[in-house]
Structure 1
């Protein structure tokens, strides 16, 4: 038996393999350099160019770029008319921004449980959580796999609710042949470095509703009704603040990077799927692991590759397996701790034990490294490390 690195053995990799990372090439650097040499560093022509490129890629009619994915969620919730006294249903497991955006506008997050196969929000539990105060539903395409959008859409239509699709993980994914970005009333994207396309930090709101798009563009610009370009067209200095907005603008520097990155996104999606196929082939017979699924009517964007540990097959805990893989220099992670377990949310009165699927599955999740620039050797090293851990820890 090969000795584990955590017990003093030789690690599988000499240096840490991260769970995700950006890929920046010379084209990206030149695109940013062109902006640095131009007259516009922010609020210039690259914003509209980036918005048009993403709209064209997704099929959305309207796109509005913002400074972060969280800002996009905040703007989307606000533009949907959510406010104090309202309730918004959100999944119990996601990055915390999916729920924080509800609090930003003074509304109450109501957490719904997950479907056990995809770990997406469970439409049946969404239906159970609807009250007379429910105004919207935030649905997250968890790990890149689209939610059950048609069922959720029917529920929303029956109850007069807005759906905001948090597609931070799922740019490039499709559901029943339709691309993410056209599936719900409003879709939000993130361009954080670990996402499919990065602008450094950045986000976007996609919609077919012209009025929502107009509200988002005002919201990102202090609530001002006209931007500088619109005023210049009429040679006017006058503007008005029509709502309380924020400075959520995305600079041209970031947009230039995003445009360059987007041109490579399909190639990167294919590489992600190759990595998934390699993992599935190598790990499918390992009793320790429950591998992620992809439903027949979906194409996942595979932002994350999350395995679930069959803990009854091993003699150690998830924490010990996590530590052992990290000692082998495999940068595994856990996505995510249930939001209502967080101290801030617990202090708001949320109690554990109300989301049986989310809370059970969280206890056995581990995310394996996946990103387009991973080499075949990197993939093989991950598999070797997992098998090494299994050999040492199996019952």
Structure 2
């Protein structure tokens, strides 16, 4: 029985060749020549002034909050329906995450919920491009500008998506990307911070390298420069090995995204008349990066049983993403009912650029049988 994984990285010979070049060079570590080249290419691709290559999107979120001055006593409003990295980052700087509910149709942060949560301690907002779909940035930017708050775009899942004709990653003054293995482009792990603010980028770059700046550049200076630690920094550098992989992947964005779009379109065609699921909704003013394909099951369907059937047939699946406010680590009295409902009903089915038409059809056939087998007596 053929296994159809939930996710699969599209890495091949071109990426291997790039890695071999780094092996033959004198600098495989972070902030070397390949990393600097990647930063220039990222800035050019996304049309922003500055890009800082980092070890993860979580690192980018953490450093962005430090550079923006968030800290103890502050509240930062975060999207609730997401992997809880934004809320974790807020905790890293000893501020308090405040969870905003999401739109029922898109799963993206609800601007009205954001507006209702703003108080005297609010410092800013972290919006999330939920599993690859950009949030409502026109409304969010209007709200944050009106109240003098910062706005950060968590575009971890959204490389290749657009909002009102602009690329995800360039929709807020600061944006954070992920290059984790299940993202649209990947180096296994990795991330980047994008911004038009040169001073903020310099702050982030310094803090990402222990607070001493680029050692590779200093090593080429004649004499014996001795770096000085001017900030309490972190080891958040991206290796030149990973940067070389990402240079290749960056050139493949449209190719890989086109394949994901084809898979999403085929799922939509095959499932359009299935009454027991709700398909992903993409508003007319944006496009989806299809990092994941999440169906919302009818409330009467036993999701766990459906997942068990899929996995028994070798088909990967998952719950989708999290309602962050329900996670034990946060112990909050906040209620985000839309997010909680999506968290309970979501089912992620295989989505990656390596899926074949036959595999997509098999996923749908097995899914339909499982839905029928595990639907309650009063379901649609």
TM-score, normalised with respect to structure 1: 0.92
Kindly indicate whether residue 346 of structure 2 is the aligned counterpart of residue 365 of structure 1.
Answer: yes
Q: Secondary structure at the match of 1:240?
A: coil
Match of 1:337 in 2: 322
Kindly indicate whether residue 21 of structure 2 is the aligned counterpart of residue 34 of structure 1.
Answer: yes
How much does 1:390 deviate?
A: 2.9
Over residues 300-337 of structure 1, what are the superposed CA-to-partner deviations in whole Å (9 max), with x where a residue is unaligned? 1111111101124x4xx221122122222211111223
Matches of 2:303 and 2:370 in 1, distance apart?
A: 12
Match of 1:58 in 2: 46
Q: Secondary structure at the match of 1:367?
A: strand
Q: 277, 280, 291: which one pairs with 2:279?
A: 291
* Most deviating of 41-50 and 212-221: 41-50
Change (3 A) 1:337 1:387: same
Kindly indicate whether residue 17 of structure 2 is the aligned counterpart of residue 17 of structure 1.
Answer: no
CA contact (8 A) 2:74 2:122 kept: yes
Match of 2:158 in 1: 170
Matches of 2:304 and 2:133 in 1, distance apart?
A: 26
How much does 1:136 deviate?
A: 1.3
Q: 117, 123, 132: which one pairs with 1:144?
A: 132
Change (3 A) 1:33 1:231: closer
TM-score, normalised with respect to structure 2: 0.95
* Most deviating of 111-120 and 87-96: 87-96
How much does 1:392 deviate?
A: 2.7
How much does 1:156 deviate?
A: 0.5
Q: Could you say what the CA RMSD is over the residues aligned between the two structures, in angstroms?
A: 1.5
Unmatched tracts of structure 2, length 5 or more: none
Match of 1:251 in 2: 239
CA contact (8 A) 2:50 2:196 kept: yes
How much does 1:92 deviate?
A: 1.4
CA contact (8 A) 2:72 2:95 kept: yes
CA contact (8 A) 2:325 2:336 kept: no
Q: Secondary structure at the match of 1:357?
A: helix
Q: 377, 385, 394: which one pairs with 2:358?
A: 377
How much does 1:181 deviate?
A: 2.1
Aligned length: 375
How do 1:309-320 and structure 2 match up within 5 A? Answer: 309-312=297-300, 314=301, 317-320=302-305
CA contact (8 A) 1:338 1:359 kept: yes
Over residues 22-46 of structure 1, what are the superposed CA-to-partner deviations in whole Å (9 max), with x where a residue is unaligned? 1111111110011001111113100
How much does 1:232 deviate?
A: 4.0
CA contact (8 A) 1:225 1:242 kept: no
Matches of 2:177 and 2:170 in 1, distance apart?
A: 12
Match of 2:171 in 1: 183
How do 1:11-160 and structure 2 match up within 5 A? Answer: 14-42=1-29, 43-160=31-148
Q: 209, 222, 226: which one pairs with 2:197?
A: 209
Over residues 356-386 of structure 1, what are the superposed CA-to-partner deviations in whole Å (9 max), with x where a residue is unaligned? 1011121110011100011111101111111
Change (3 A) 1:44 1:69: same
Kindly indicate whether residue 259 of structure 2 is the aligned counterpart of residue 277 of structure 1.
Answer: no
* Most deviating of 228-237 and 366-375: 228-237
Matches of 1:336 and 1:32 in 2, distance apart?
A: 32
How much does 1:69 deviate?
A: 1.6
Change (3 A) 1:390 1:273: same
Matches of 1:390 and 1:224 in 2, distance apart?
A: 56
Q: Secondary structure at the match of 1:273?
A: helix
CA contact (8 A) 2:306 2:367 kept: no
Kindly indicate whether residue 317 of structure 2 is the aligned counterpart of residue 327 of structure 1.
Answer: no
Match of 1:351 in 2: 333
CA contact (8 A) 2:305 2:374 kept: no
